[in-house]
A and B are shown apart, each in its own frame.
Chain A
Amino acid sequence: MTVSAYLILASILFTIGAVTVLVRRNAIIVFMGIELMLNAANLAFLTFSRMWGDLTGQLAAFFVMVVAAAEVVVGLAIIVSLFRTRRTVSVDDENLMRH
């Protein structure tokens, strides 16, 4: 397998994640889309790391994993508290503020 195959896979994953964020209505699913985008970035980091024969990219992937975990903590706290208030996590129902 060539490097470009992995890069294309990373791009496809990133696109799927971005589309999920744009079209899905459930906050949890939207959040999963974001996580998918982060993992796509990780895959790209690892591929380039291998390509350059340089460890920096692998190091970056570890940092991203830790940060993503922290993000999950904060994100789920926000989503859960919102769910307990409203009994829904649909992002379409979040429309109290309008222009």
Chain B
Amino acid sequence: MSVLAAPEIHIEWSALAPVLIVLGAAVVATLVEAFVPRQARRLVQVPLALLSVAAAGLVALQLALTASSSTTAAAQGNLAVDPMALYLQLAIAACSLLGLLVIADRTVQGEDAFAPQASAVPASEYEEQVRRAGWTQTDVFPLVLFAVGGMMLFPAATDLITLFVSLEVLSLPLYLLTGMARHRRLLSQEASLKYFLLGALASAFFLFGAAWVYGATGTLNLYVIQISVSSVTGLSPILVVGAVLILVGLLFKVGAVPFHAWTPDVYQGAPTVVTGFMAACTKIAAFGALLRVIYAMVPGLEWSLEPVLWTVAILTMVVGTVVGLVQKDVKRLLAYSAIAHAGFILVGVTAYSLEGLSGSLFYLFTYGISTVGAFGVLSLVREVDSDGHMRGEATGLDQWRGLGRRSPLLAGCFAIFLLSFAGIPLTSGFVAKFAVFGAAFGSGAAALGIVGLACSAAAAFFYARVIQVMFFDSPPDEEVRLTTVGPGIGVRTLGFTQIAIAVSLALTLVLGIVPGWFLSFTEELSSLLMLTR
């Protein structure tokens, strides 16, 4: 009789520390929900969430600074602790720290952005009771922490099943968070259902693709797949089908056309504070995973996958820009802007060169930071009803007329974020666009670069239109003036949002005016990565 000896499992705890800190804090936060009295929960949850994400970011920075050139595989080869993973984890931690500040903010009356009880039926007696009792839903903090943990795993995963699990760990909390808005709850629940059904559909595609790739190569590990893909002479159709299905799943998360249908609805319906967090961090995480998968598969499948990626990139830029031009709602406008930006980043990804990789990494960080700031501004412009009660965000473009005269500081910040999205010089958006389009021209993908330039020129119109509405349109009539308020004209919050806006504004400007040091940082990371391939 032989004793079943478990094989030695080696896990590099220190290299995985950023993820472990966040997921550990998420578990603790769940326990806090269960055991800490309701009045004290918020006081515990907010510092716990902020500190754990900050700590994870610092550890990731420390690891990134000491990272050697070689790719370090961790957890039995399921995760990579290479410069790219650490950089993206750092970017996700930074953006989610700012996002958490916005999420944790509330008005001085004690109302945050979330329904007091998400399970209560809107406009029911129970909801009214809960609202009057002043309950707040602190479950959002563990949910956000789980999502951040999944996001940090996503770009580090080098195994298709790890990739799938972290995709779900990041998605499931987001589906719930989307449906928890305090105001306009029907819209929020509808967005949640749409996001869930389409997201689950996309992960089913991803999974089926993973099964076929496994069938074609006999492994789920991306590095082994990379080797066996490039050694196959005749292309196996099974492999191509699998790779395309995997890309469909990832492109959905990125919000690329034709898998973008969820983006505007979810961005509009979700609580604005969640939209900001989700828009920034999901994009970084999903592009990280996409980069890893593409760089593993494209060398062998160049002729099959490149046309797909080119088509998607061009469609994404064009559709995002053209449909964005006719939007009347600021949140939806930013959603289409997010789609267009996904296309711009795809240009850098598709360039498949050192410059392309470095440009995409730079783009992801700067875009994430500006996005959190922009949605932070959006969350401060609110409606009030005739009794003076604060309502949801005023997102109609009409309601923003003359905001620049009534609340110049806020409108000024928003204008700078919009200029960054538009890619105007002296903002980080310009440097990022320059980097990815330059990479496209440099690597023989000039067509992509030209479409990208044309689209950013067209997109500048709709950003300019918002700026025009805010600063140059006639001041609003009495009705709008009374029902739309912002900081300094009615909205008073604890100030967390303002801190987040200030930090992201500072980063947007600093990375726009003196981008050199950061660009050389991402270039160095990318060259380390390219060496190891």
A residues lining the B interface (CB < 8 Å): 7, 10, 14, 17-18, 21, 27, 30-31, 34, 37-38, 40-42, 44-45, 47-49, 51-52, 54, 56-57, 59-60, 63-64, 67, 70-71, 74-75, 77-79, 81-82, 84-86, 91, 94, 96-97, 99
The answer to whether A78 and B187 touch across the interface, beta carbons within 8 angstroms, is: no
Binary contact track B476-507/A, C-beta < 8 Å → 1, others 0:
00000000000000000000000000000000
B316 to nearest A CB, angstroms? 17
List, in ascending order, chain A residues with CB within 8 A of B305's CB: none
The answer to whether B122 and A44 touch across the interface, beta carbons within 8 angstroms, is: no
The answer to whether B264 and A97 touch across the interface, beta carbons within 8 angstroms, is: yes
Residue of B whose beta carbon sits closest to that of A59: B161
| CA–CA, A85 and B185, complex, Å | 9
Chain B residues 170 to 222 lying within 8 A of chain A, measured CB to CB, are 172, 175-176, 179, 185-187, 189-194, 196-197, 200-201, 204-205, 207-208, 210-212, 214-215, 218-220
B residues lining the A interface (CB < 8 Å): 118-119, 121-122, 160-161, 164-165, 168, 172, 175-176, 179, 185-187, 189-194, 196-197, 200-201, 204-205, 207-208, 210-212, 214-215, 218-220, 264-265, 268-269, 323, 332
Chain A contact residues: over half helix, strand or loop, or mixed? helix
The answer to whether A48 and B215 touch across the interface, beta carbons within 8 angstroms, is: yes
List, in ascending order, chain A residues with CB within 8 A of B197's CB: 21, 27, 30-31, 34, 75, 91
Residue of B whose beta carbon sits closest to that of A80: B119
The answer to whether B215 and A44 touch across the interface, beta carbons within 8 angstroms, is: yes
Interchain CB contact (< 8 A) of A97 among B118, B192, B211, B268:
B268
Interchain CB contact (< 8 A) of B218 among A14, A54, A79:
A54
List, in ascending order, chain B residues with CB within 8 A of A70's CB: 168, 172
The answer to whether A56 and B214 touch across the interface, beta carbons within 8 angstroms, is: yes
Residue of B whose beta carbon sits closest to that of A73: B172
List, in ascending order, chain B residues with CB within 8 A of A77's CB: 176
The answer to whether A38 and B218 touch across the interface, beta carbons within 8 angstroms, is: no
The answer to whether A85 and B265 touch across the interface, beta carbons within 8 angstroms, is: no
List, in ascending order, chain B residues with CB within 8 A of A56's CB: 214, 219-220
The answer to whether A82 and B193 touch across the interface, beta carbons within 8 angstroms, is: yes
Chain B contact residues: over half helix, strand or loop, or mixed? helix
The answer to whether A78 and B193 touch across the interface, beta carbons within 8 angstroms, is: yes
A34-B200, A51-B215, A75-B200 known; A97 vs B191 contact (CB < 8 Å): yes
Interchain CB contact (< 8 A) of B172 among A31, A38, A74:
A74
List, in ascending order, chain B residues with CB within 8 A of A38's CB: 204, 207
The answer to whether A78 and B192 touch across the interface, beta carbons within 8 angstroms, is: yes
List, in ascending order, chain B residues with CB within 8 A of A48's CB: 211, 214-215, 218
List, in ascending order, chain A residues with CB within 8 A of B161's CB: 59-60, 63
The answer to whether B218 and A52 touch across the interface, beta carbons within 8 angstroms, is: yes
The answer to whether B204 and A85 touch across the interface, beta carbons within 8 angstroms, is: no
The answer to whether A91 and B208 touch across the interface, beta carbons within 8 angstroms, is: no
B27 to nearest A CB, angstroms? 15
Kindly list the 3 A-B residue pairs having the minimum CB-CB distance in the complex, ordered from nearest.
A44-B211, A37-B204, A48-B215
List, in ascending order, chain B residues with CB within 8 A of A52's CB: 218
List, in ascending order, chain B residues with CB within 8 A of A57's CB: 211, 214
| CA–CA, A77 and B208, complex, Å | 25
List, in ascending order, chain A residues with CB within 8 A of B269's CB: 97
B186 to nearest A CB, angstroms? 6
Interchain CB contact (< 8 A) of B201 among A34, A54, A91:
A34
Residue of A whose beta carbon sits closest to that of B179: A78
Residue of B whose beta carbon sits closest to that of A37: B204
Residue of A whose beta carbon sits closest to that of B220: A56
| CA–CA, A34 and B175, complex, Å | 16
| CA–CA, A99 and B264, complex, Å | 8
A31 to nearest B CB, angstroms? 7
The answer to whether A96 and B215 touch across the interface, beta carbons within 8 angstroms, is: no
The answer to whether B220 and A60 touch across the interface, beta carbons within 8 angstroms, is: yes
The answer to whether A99 and B323 touch across the interface, beta carbons within 8 angstroms, is: yes
| CA–CA, A97 and B204, complex, Å | 26
| CA–CA, A10 and B212, complex, Å | 11
A76 to nearest B CB, angstroms? 10
**Which of B189, B191, B208, B264 is most buried by chain A, counting CB atoms within 10 A of its CB?**
B208
A21 to nearest B CB, angstroms? 6
The answer to whether B193 and A27 touch across the interface, beta carbons within 8 angstroms, is: yes
The answer to whether A37 and B193 touch across the interface, beta carbons within 8 angstroms, is: no
The answer to whether B323 and A67 touch across the interface, beta carbons within 8 angstroms, is: no
Interchain CB contact (< 8 A) of B193 among A49, A60, A94, A99:
A94
